[in-house]
Structure 1
Amino acid sequence: MAVRKETEQAGLTVNHPHTTGRIYGGVGCTIAVLLAVLLTLFAPLGAAPARAQEPTDGVTQPSASPVALQIEEITPVITDSSGFAVRVTIENHGTAAIEHARLAVRTNAQYNFVSRSDMQAWAEGTTMIPTPDELLTLDVGTVEADGVRTMHGELHADAGQLQALTAWGPRPLTLELIGEDGGPLPGTTPLQTFLTRSQAGLHGERTPAINLTVAMPLTSHNWKTNTAVTDQLLSSGSGSVRPSDAVTLGADDVRALKAKDELAARFERLQLVGDPLVLRAVGTPHVQAISQPGMFDVTTYARVGDAGAYTRAGITDQGWRAETGVNLLRSALGDEGAQTRAIAWQGEGSWTMQALNTARAQGYETVVATRDFALQDDATATTETYRVPTDHGEVTVLTAQSTLSALAQQQPTSAQAGAEQTDAGRLQRLIAQSAFYQMEQPYESRSLLVCLGESANSTFVTSLMTALNSASWVHLASIDELATAASAIEPSQMPDLINQYVGQQMPAVSSALEALNALARSRDDIERFNTSILVAGQSTHASDGSSPSAAVQESGTAAPQSPPSASPSASAQRLSADAWAQYLLQAHDAFALPALSPHASAREAMVNGAQRFADALLNRITLVPSGSLNVVSETASMPVTVSNKLPYPISVRVSSLTDSMEIVTSRLSDVEVAPNSEAQTSFVVRVSTSGTTVAREQLLDRHDQPFGAVQQTTITSSLQLSDKSGIAIIAFAVVLGLLGLWRQFHRKKDPDE
């Protein structure tokens, strides 16, 4: 079985035999370690140091120098015909000008790196390696305070400095500002990187090349709402609207995708793994494989373990199956017979056994592990292709080589690696590192996977592929070659190893759960509209007599929809209310699938877009209140208008409620509103006294669930004598008057009166 070691392979001439389990004998390991120590101690003694350097304490600290050097361009691979060129930017952040400075570019043509830690220490500037062999010295002159200057130098292929590189492999390279005396310029720190000589033009034995598969995902997480489509969908019942177009990419994103696709046509060994959702935007993609649609996060899906939650959010299992991706590819290519490998790309979680079972059940026979799948001794770079048995069949796991992939994704190996803060410096390290990996075990065939990032720019990818094409020690292999390589570990051992080592630390799924809950709420709003507000059963009017509802695809992009026809009959086609209702759900679900990708920005944008779409649907049904009502009798009528700006009829209820016991309205009123029109209903107002109150009107669906904004009508009561109360008052006054007259005539007068 596999053995995970913390020791490191050291020395260029120590090569242990390869075994499936990567088991190394104790004697071999002891010799390797002793040889590493000896080479590290005595290799620098063969050449005089070009400059003094203080020993480090083993703790890497970032440079505090006010002068920064940055590599803008440099020749990554030296061949017999390449020559050497370098362009360096000098930034003076100090308060004083730099005067009489020169830029020295030096190497050590005889030095061989003995271990990975040796290379890393050099990159971080914490090791002492003399570089006495001068390649270039450029006069910098003066760099003013807060000034910037760019220096460029080059050597022709026949230059003696390059001819001195008589052995292939990576060498230390120093870029340093020096003074007139040739010593380091005070206040400056040298930049340490690598120079790699290829085998081209050199004599000697050629060992087998190391196989590198360079894979780049063709996808984007910059999805946004296509307001033109959503507005048209809500305002018309035309069958020409495609619900899947409710989300779209910006023009800049499409250009970036096309530029990457063109790279695959230019570099045939660049393995493009295309997201099926973006292929239609690209046009005619040059992909060697496809990923899951929308880069759906399979690993998080497996961790959540609740398929119902995804269904309620609008994501069915059919929506991200491997066959669905193939169907989308065929639609993009216009070729119903197109076929390619479907690969599940790693999400936020890890490829645990549960995740691998899930991926295999969905039809993915191959997955890419970009991290957290280290099952072998990491002392040397080895083939990391694994066969894993699952409940649904065997799945092949392709594991990315961590160091090369990080550099290919434009990330430095550490913050202290000064030269790796630019693309040119990172490429220089990647080339040197790949050469070192080949020299670790030169007679053993190995296949490594290098994964580029989703945001890799075309310029960097072009530089990388051009450099790798010049690297004589590299064979650029296809992803099919990598996938068909023998399993590095016996498949029967894989489940136990994965359970032991993979997925021990994974991010929480709280963000995904929040997105699922939000999507479920917005989908519930649309389903409630379909079942409790929309008047269903409207017949379809299509000039060709076909039923557009039959063309409605299952939610979650389960199958590609045919593009709308340009014929008049197709453009005039009108959906039935039932078919239109399904279109609304499909449009919502177009937001849902990208929302459950590993990218937080896409998740937020798509969740918000889905909610806005559901809100826009319900907001097209509004109440138009009377505003104010003056009541001068015991009863009155309060009119309320319901406006429907949707292309299909609706049936709703309107409720009215006052905050007074003396001035009240009737409670509910049912109303049906034709498409794109208004309908009026009225409430009975009853008053028993003068005064003022507010009636609050609310739209309800047919199950008395409220939606939309609450409207208010102010009711003012001013009772007049013409009503029953007034008549009673007059009658009472008459009685009092008659009683007064009777008393006046029947009372006895006082004798003195």
Structure 2
Amino acid sequence: MIGEHGSGHHSPENKAVAHKSAQRLFWCIVMLLLSLAIAISPNATRAHAAESATAATADSCNDQDISVCLLSSTSVVTDTSGFDAQISVTNNTTSTLAGGSLTTSTNVLYPFTSRVDMQGWSEGDTHIPTPNTLNTSSVPELAPHASTTVSIHLDAASTELKAMNSWGPKPLLLTYASGKSTPVKVHTFLTRSSDGLSTAQTPALSITTVLPLTASSWTVDDDALVNLVTKSRNAGTRSSASPAVDKSRLSSSANSIITLGKEAKEYQQQQLDMLNNHPELQSVADPDYLSSFPIPPQTTALMQPSNFDITAYSQGDADAYAKAGITTEQWNAAAGLAALRESTGDEQAPGTSVAWQGQGAWTLPALESVKDAGYSTVIADSEYEANNSSVAHTGKYVVPTKDGNVTVLTAQRELSRLAQGKSTSTDADGEGTDAGRMARFMAQSALYQMEQPYANRVLMVTFAESGQNLHAADALMSAMEHASWIKLTDLQTLDKADAYQEGSKASVSVPTTSGISAHRLSAIEGYLNTLASDHNDIVRFGSAILVQKESSGDESGDTSQSSDTQALARGDASTVIDQSNGTAAAWLEQLKSVQKALALHTFTGNSTQSAFAKASSSLSQQLLDGVSITPSESISVVSETASMPVTISNDHPYPVKVSVSSQTDSTIIATSRLTEATIPANSEVQVTFTIRVATSGNATARIALLDRNGESFGTTQSTRITSSLQLSDKSGLILLAVGVLFGALGLWRQFTRKKDADE
């Protein structure tokens, strides 16, 4: 490193105005010297312009009428690297663009020394002359929506690169001109390293890079969910068909329905490759995610299980989470360590626990929540210091809470945003591609080193939890490993470094609000209400519907399974025997564990996962719907009384005991109201209701299931009853007797009456 670029004007007390004033004076002198000095030859090697039939592969760059996108570049120039770049030009208009030119230029004498100037340049607001042309390439005529790619190559021995005799970040301007159109300019960077320069060396800037090993793309295996509820005969053979599938499941049987899809597994392999390729890259792993690896990798630290959003939890009602099936015991530090030991099979496996930030900021209530859960260290994202305008510093705060200190390790804002595939601002026109962001990252990190070259600092750069382009991250890690001004360190080094702030000063820096919008908090409350209803349904099923054998003397429990003649008829009596070896209570606990896991995954990371809330509702619904009434055909009644048979089915692996109620909508046709039934596992039974008819007519009987507390559940069925009343029973006999009596009386009168004289 060069001492002259790392001392005089790098004091933290310098103001932006002072920087700009110094720059104006500096450039007046430079431009005067340039007019008298030798001119750097603009004659560069003519680059090849290859027209492409497809649009340029630039992330978010092609959103202008005429887009110029940096697809790749040599972001760090050394004495042997040369300079290469690929730049796309895209016509997004409906008119043809005339042939033009693309010019790449820089200023070999200008090193950025102010973050204000660097940000201003990236947004096109700071004017910095770029008199040194690296390359000029012709661009062919472009039809509407056509694109072309320009390739640039300069040898290391080229005059243009040799002229860069001082290290540091420099402006790089891409200018596309076509006909009478306004030139399109893109502002980016290149950084000349100290390699090959006879300059004084200063200590490298320590940077800790962290890759979170977690997933936001868990999926729910609907078939496994059904099998769990019904204990299907095929459940045991289904998963054994594909060992790879079994490997991708969470280790706990309660979480076996939560799986990783094909794309998630491919992403997982890319994460492994990246960790193997870059030993200095630190990893903080979700212990549940670790269990999905065929062989869990070595990790630096553990985050909370399922990457549960503690920041949102601390903003809500802990009782509401408990009612939804989420307790501290599921996501505390002890739970994470237990999950690690289960996934590795090593009961003595050590693990360092840190809490990863969710969608909200680490407020004091959030820090107190993690401290209560056994975490002493948290990792904060790049927005923790959003309002901090100081020079780059060690990303460590020690914040006092009522239960002790919590160490907050903070990601450096600009560097972490760039590493995660985000631009530093929406106006930064050169940061719409991975190459543009890497160029800015390397320039920004060089600036930080030059600000305080002898200060002992450790910066942290975190990659994204989800949606991270790992190919771009891999390239960035390689660039950092070869940068002369960067020293990659581990998480322990950052944790042991002197805190930037501690005590009362650190408390002042803690965000006072979580930053979670009222709309988001309302959505979370809605999910909690849904999950609480699901959890309550499962508890109710166990206490008021399921028959749980409490002792060996519970004859009803034995009878309900051992006397299942239907199982014998189906030929799956062995299934019933296997089920009898377990207990209904154990099965119920399994169901509760699944619902708890689904609830926990609903609040994963920095977003809510609605699919898991839906799966929780599906689980409770299947459980209640597994006991059902078979619809009956219409019944015709020709007497005062009749019987109405009703079939009750139980699709579950253990017996249930319910009440069945019947009620008609007529006063002339009624049924008996209530009867009880115990239905064996995977069976059905028939109960009978008595119909009583007063006269001919129609009625609808509504048949419902009630739990043992008298609360209805399941789907109500209707049966149509039609009465065509005929003589029967006592009323019929009385009418018949009266008829016989009147008949006899008539005959008697016929034979005993006196005849008239004229008859």
Consecutive unaligned residues of structure 1, counting only runs of 5 or more, are 1-9, 18-27, 51-61, 541-569
Separation (CA, whole Å) in 2 of partners of 1:729 and 1:416:
100
Q: Which residue pairs with 2:193 in the alignment?
A: 198
1:581 Cα deviation (Å)? 1.1
Distance in 2 (alpha carbons) for counterparts of 1:292 and 1:697: 48
TM-score w.r.t. the length of structure 1 is 0.85
Q: Match of 1:632, as an amino acid?
A: V
Which consecutive unaligned segments of at least 5 residues does structure 2 have? 40-60, 237-251, 553-576
Q: Which position in structure 1 is the counterpart of 2:603?
A: 596
Whether the 8 Å contact between 2:177 and 2:184 is mirrored in structure 1 is no
Partner of 2:379: 368
Amino acid corresponding to residue 286 of structure 1 in structure 2: Q
Matched with 1:219 is: 214
Amino acid at match of 2:604: S
From the superposition, tell whether residues 539 and 176 of structure 1 become closer, same or farther in structure 2 (CA, over 3 Å).
farther
- Asked if the contact 2:213–2:286 (Cα under 8 Å) also holds between the matched residues in 1, the reply is yes
Tell me what 1:13 maps to: 8
Query: In structure 2, what is the Cα distance between the partners aligned to 1:288 and 1:457?
Result: 21
The yes-or-no answer on 1:296 pairing with 2:308 is yes
**Equivalent position SS for 2:442:** helix
Give the secondary-structure state (helix, strand or coil) at the position aligned to 1:315. coil
| 1:689 and 2:700 aligned | no
SS in 1 for 2:141: strand
Deviations 1:623-644 (A, max 9, x none): 1132211111111110001111
Return closer, same or farther for 1:468/1:731 CA change in 2, 3 Å cut-off.
Answer: same
User: How big is each residue's C-alpha offset from its partner over 1:289-330, in whole Å with a ceiling of 9 and x where there is no partner?
Assistant: 1111111111122221x3332222112211111121122222
Q: CA deviation at 1:750?
A: 11
For 2:280 and 2:507, locate their aligned partners in 1 and report how far apart those are by CA, in whole Å.
32
Q: Is the 8 A contact 2:210 2:460 kept in 1?
A: yes
Render the CA deviation track for 1:180-232: whole Å, top value 9, x for unaligned.
xxxx8624411111111111111211222211111121111122212343233
Quick check: 2:360–2:514 contact (8 Å CA) kept in 1? no
Residue 320 and residue 44 in structure 1: after superposition, are their counterparts in 2 closer, same or farther (change >3 A)?
farther
Deviating more after overlay: 662-671 vs 187-196: 187-196
Where do 1:52-71 residues align within 5 Å? 66-71=65-70
- Residue of structure 2 equivalent to 1:319: 330
What TM-score comes out, normalization by structure 2 length? 0.84
Q: For 1:722 and 1:518, how far apart are their aligned partners in 2?
A: 55
Q: Structure 2 matches for 1:164-243, cutoff 5 A?
A: 164-178=163-177, 186-236=181-231, 242-243=253-254
Match among 718, 733, 741 for residue 712 of structure 1? 718
Counterpart-to-counterpart distance in 2, 1:693 and 1:231: 37
- Distance change >3 Å, CA 35–CA 636, structure 1 → 2: closer
Task: Give 1:134's aligned residue.
Answer: 133
Q: How big is the shift at 1:427?
A: 1.4
| Mapped partners of 2:440, 2:111: distance in 1 | 15
Instruction: Give the 3 Å change call, closer, same or farther, for CA 517–164 of structure 1 in structure 2.
Output: same
Contact conserved, 1:67 with 1:187, CA < 8 A, in 2? no
Q: Offset at 1:492?
A: 4.1
- Corresponding residue for 2:435? 424
Partner secondary structure for residue 190 of structure 1:
strand
Identity rate of aligned residues, in percent? 40
Distance 1:189 1:597, change over 3 A: same
Spell out, residue by residue over 1:641-681, the C-alpha distance to the aligned partner (whole angstroms, 9 max, x if none): 11111111111111111101110111111011111111110
Pair 1:685–1:41, CA change in 2 (3 A): farther
| Residue aligning to 2:246 | none
Q: Does structure 2 conserve the Cα–Cα contact (< 8 Å) formed by 1:12 and 1:114? A: no
Q: Counterparts of 1:259 and 1:286 in 2: how far apart (Å)?
A: 15
- Structure-2 separation of matches of 1:594 and 1:164: 57
Q: Please tell me the residue identity of whatever aligns with 1:98.
A: L
Indicate conservation of the 8 Å contact 1:539/1:576, yes or no: no
Q: Does 1:414 align with 2:425?
A: yes
Task: Give the match for residue 475 of structure 1.
Answer: 487
Gap change, CA 1:254 and 1:155, over 3 Å in 2? same
**Aligned partners of 2:514, 2:660: CA distance in 1, in Å?**
55
Give the 3 Å change call, closer, same or farther, for CA 462–598 of structure 1 in structure 2: closer
Query: Shift of residue 276 of structure 1?
Result: 0.9
Say if 1:696 and 1:217 are closer, same or farther in 2 by CA, change over 3 A.
same
Distance in 1, matches of 2:551 and 2:88, equals 71
2:684 aligned with 1:678, yes or no?
yes
Q: Which residue of 1 aligns with 2:546?
A: 534
Please point out which of 273, 285, 297 is paired with 1:274.
285
Answer yes or no: is the 8 Å Cα contact 1:654–1:669 preserved in 2.
yes
Alpha-carbon offset, residue 470 of structure 1: 1.9
Aligned pairs, how many?
686
Tell me if structure 1 keeps the 8 A contact 2:19–2:114.
no
Q: Give the match for residue 673 of structure 2.
A: 667
The amino acid of 1:693's aligned partner reads: A
Alpha-carbon separation, structure 2, partners of 1:89 and 1:649 = 69
Contact 1:330 1:338 in 2 (8 A): yes
Q: Which whole-Å deviations, capped at 9, do the CAs of 1:12-60 have from their partners, x for residues lacking one?
A: 732437xxxxxxxxxx556x7434323146526623799xxxxxxxxxx
Structure 2: how far apart are the matches of 1:346 and 1:525? 32
Residues 387-402 of structure 1 mapped to structure 2, 5 A cutoff: 387-402=398-413
* Matching residue's letter, 2:210: A
Contact 1:193/1:429 (<8 A) preserved: yes
1:577 maps to which residue? 584
Q: Deviations over 1:477-527 (max 9, x none)?
A: 1111111111112324433543xx532744232222222211111111111
Deviations 1:541-590 (A, max 9, x none): xxxxxxxxxxxxxxxxxxxxxxxxxxxxx999942111111111111111
**Judging changes above 3 Å, is the alpha-carbon distance between structure 1 residues 493 and 147 closer, same or farther for their aligned structure 2 residues?**
closer
The equivalent of 2:81 in structure 1 is: 82
* C-alpha spacing 1:344/1:573, structure 2 compared with 1 (3 Å): farther
Equivalent in the alignment of 1:334: 345
Do the aligned partners of 1:693 and 1:715 also contact (CA within 8 Å) in 2?
Answer: yes
Distance 1:529 1:368, change over 3 A: same
- Specify the code of the residue in structure 1 equivalent to 2:695: T
Separation in 2, partners of 1:152, 1:493: 52
Relative to structure 1, the CA distance from residue 278 to residue 655 in structure 2 (aligned partners, 3 Å threshold; closer, same or farther) is same
**Which secondary structure state, in structure 1, belongs to the residue aligned with residue 256 of structure 2?**
helix
Shift in alpha-carbon separation, 1:70–1:732, aligned structure 2, 3 A: farther
> Does the 8 Å CA contact 1:222/1:601 hold for their aligned counterparts?
no
Aligned with 2:440: secondary structure? Answer: helix
Q: Secondary structure in 2 aligned to 1:442?
A: coil
| One-letter amino acid of the counterpart of residue 717, structure 2 | Q
Deviations 1:677-736 (A, max 9, x none): 111101011110111111111111111111111111111111112333434444555566
Counterparts in 2 of 1:600 and 1:366: CA distance versus 1, 3 Å: closer
Q: Where do 1:719-734 residues align within 5 Å?
A: 719-733=725-739
Once the two structures are superposed, what CA deviation does each residue of 1:585-610 show, in whole Å capped at 9, x if it has no partner?
111111011112244452x1111011
2:68 partner letter: L
Residue 354 (1) aligns with residue 365 (2): yes
How far 1:88 sits from its partner (Å)? 1.3
Q: Output the amino acid matched with 2:69.
A: Q
- 2:635 aligned partner, one-letter code: L
> 2:629, 2:747 → 1: CA distance?
59
Secondary structure of the residue aligned to 2:187 is strand
1:172 CA displacement: 0.8
Distance 2:489 2:387 in 1: 22
What residue number does 2:620 align with? Answer: 614
Structure 2 CA distance, aligned partners of 1:226 and 1:326?
A: 26
- Match for 1:108: what amino acid? N
SS of alignment partner, residue 216 of structure 2: coil
Greater Cα shift, 627-636 or 382-391 = 382-391
